Amino acid sequence: MRTEMRLTGSGGQGLILAGIIFAEAALLDGNNSLQSQSYGPEARGGASKAEVIISKEEIDFPKVQVPNVLLSLTQVACDKYSSEIADDGIFIIDETVNVEDVKASVKLYRVPILKTAVEEVGKSIVANIVAIGFITELTGLVSKENVEAAILNRIPKGTEELNKKALEHGYKLALAVK
Amino acid sequence: MRTEMRLTGSGGQGLILAGIIFAEAALLDGNNSLQSQSYGPEARGGASKAEVIISKEEIDFPKVQVPNVLLSLTQVACDKYSSEIADDGIFIIDETVNVEDVKASVKLYRVPILKTAVEEVGKSIVANIVAIGFITELTGLVSKENVEAAILNRIPKGTEELNKKALEHGYKLALAVK
């Protein structure tokens, strides 16, 4: 009943915001959640990670140990953070990323997240929202209703339509692989 | 060598962003840091908290236990979160907030943060940046150079001057009480 998610990529890709949105959506769904980012020597290399824990119960141990859901939007982040994933975990990488040696029990999805943000939505900056849509539709970890509410709480006014479009393209990408 | 900070207030006051800025500044200073926000039943009452841990060493236990620095921008947040603070802790409340029963060993600062944001800077939304300036000048927990860099990394383009002004008013408020 505890799900751990790690979102990785480069510094400017909005993954902290994605983590905050998942954590708020989980709260609205009636769950407990915790969102964190840690900065240490490894954060100086251009890779960024944000973590979310979602649980029906109170979250006693606030650290992601072995993520059930892992996202890597860049090769650098993937190389740095993909060694830890649950045996039955879900591993989502951008189509520009290559991985080797993924455990056979892990479900791997290689998805055009960055390309969809640029070519279908028109802004690379919404890749994080495309990723949220993909993960939400694929996993059902948070409800669509509340992920939409959490996004509206957190994005700049005037960007509602852009973000809604990004989210729906994320849903579509997941429907295509489900 | 480990400092724990808890920033509390209402949902729209930008305290998560303030936590992220402190954590990034600490990284730029050469420290390790962790920023988190947890959402549970208590988050449904309108009070919001963000937490930061800053340490020279690796951060093994990622939970704030007894904050060394506690900020409360609203009465609701203060009533909810002020019971835990280190014996020699620094407790900063907005001047609109009242507290009783503060341990004599705690350093209490009652500061016009919200009023300064509105009347001196011209926007209530920069109260979080005024608070960052106050805490930075008062505690020296992060360097001014790097807190300014972290703010520039995280604020919307076009708001640089506004935020710089807010930060400087925060410094001034701290200089007046030091």
A-facing residues of B in 74-93 (CB < 8 A) are none
Kindly determine whether residue B39 and residue A23, on different chains, have CB atoms separated by under 8 Å.
Answer: yes
The minimal CB distance from B58 to the residues A24, A40, A63 is found for A40
| Residue A173: DSSP 8-state | H
Other residues' Cβ atoms within 10 Å of the Cβ of residue A139: 15
Give me the helix-helix angle, A127-139 and A160-177, nearest 10°. Answer: 40
Task: Give the end-to-end CA distance of chain A in Å, rounded to a whole number.
Answer: 22
Q: Which residues 6+ apart lie within 8 Å of A9 measured at CB?
A: A15, A47, A48, A71, A72, A73, A74, A77
- Which 3 state secondary structure label does DSSP give A159? coil
pLDDT digits (tens, 9 = 90+) for A87-143: 999 999 999 999 988 999 999 999 999 999 999 999 999 999 999 999 999 999 999
Whole-prediction pTM: 0.92
Cα separation, B175 vs B134, whole angstroms = 8
Strands (E), B23-151: 32-39, 47-55, 69-72, 90-94, 107-111
Token pair of B15, please?
């305290």
A20 Cβ under 8 Å from any chain B Cβ: yes
- Does residue A158 belong to the interface with chain B, where contact is any CB pair within 8 Å? no
Give mean pLDDT, residues B148-174: 96
Whole-angstrom Cα distance, residue B105 to residue B126?
Answer: 31
Instruction: Tell whether A33 is within 8 A of chain B (Cβ).
Output: yes
Mean of pLDDT values over A51-80: 94
Q: What ipTM does this complex have?
A: 0.86
**CA of A57: which chain B residue's CA is closest?**
B40
- Per-residue pLDDT reduced to its tens digit, B87-107: 999 999 999 999 988 999 999
What distance in Å separates the CA atoms of residue B129 and residue B123, rounded to the nearest whole number?
A: 11
In chain B, the residue whose alpha carbon lies closest to the alpha carbon of A51 is: B36
Task: Give pLDDT, residue A61.
Answer: 85
Q: Does B36 touch chain A (CB under 8 A)?
A: yes
Reported in sequence order, the residue ranges of A11-143 that DSSP labels E, i.e. its strands, are 32-39, 47-55, 69-72, 90-94, 107-111
Closest CA of chain A from B11, distance in Å: 10
DSSP A97: -
Confidence of residue A9 (pLDDT cuts 50, 70, 90): very high
A32 to chain B, any CB pair closer than 8 A? The answer is yes
Give the residue from chain A lying closest to B64, CA to CA.
Answer: A62
Residue pairs between chains A and B whose CB atoms are closer than 8 Å: 67
What is the b/e burial string over A51-88, where b = at least 16 CB atoms within 10 angstroms of the residue's CB? bbbbbeeebeebbbeebbbbbbbbbbbbebbbeebbee
| Inter-chain touch B37–A34, beta carbons under 8 Å | yes
Q: Answer whether A38 touches B (CB < 8 Å).
A: yes
A157: three-class secondary structure by DSSP: coil
Do residue B35 and residue A32 have CB atoms under 8 angstroms apart? no
CA angle B177, B143, A17 (to 5 degrees): 105
pLDDT in tens, A13-41: 999 999 999 999 999 999 999 999 988 87
Using 50, 70 and 90 to split pLDDT, how confident is the model at B138? very high
